[in-house]
Chain A
Amino acid sequence: QVQLQESGPGLVKPSQTLSLTCTVSGDSISSGDYYWSWIRQPPGKGLEWIAYIYYSGSTYYNPSLKSRVSMSVDTSKNQFSLKLNSVTAADTALYYCARVVPGPMSGYWFDPWGQGTLVTVSP
Chain B
Amino acid sequence: DIVMTQSPDSLAVSLGERATINCKSSQTVLYSSNNHNYLAWYQQKPGQPPKLLIYWASTRESGVPDRFSGSGSGTDFTLTISSLQAEDVAVYYCQQYYDTPYSFGQGTRLEIK
Contact = CB atoms under 8 A, between A and B. Distances in A.
Interface string A34-57: 000000000000111100000000
Contacts of B107: 46-47
Main secondary structure of the interface of B (DSSP, over half): loop
Interface residues of B, number: 21
Interface string B72-113: 000000000000000000000101010011111111000000
A31 interface: no
A47 B104 contact: yes
Contact of B93 (A46, A64, A96, A106): A46
Interface string B51-72: 1100100000100000000000
Interface residues of A, number: 23
B100 A60 contact: yes
B102 A49 contact: yes
Contacts of A112: 49, 51-52
B27 to A, nearest CB: 16
A112 B52 CA distance: 7
Nearest to A107: B97
B23 interface: no
Interface of B: 38, 40, 42, 48-52, 55, 61, 93, 95, 97, 100-107
13 contacts: A46-B106, A46-B107, A47-B107, A48-B104, A62-B101, A107-B102, A108-B38, A108-B55, A109-B95, A110-B50, A113-B49, A114-B49, A116-B49
Q: Which 8 A-B pairs have the closest CB atoms?
A: A113-B49, A111-B52, A109-B40, A47-B104, A49-B102, A62-B101, A108-B97, A109-B55
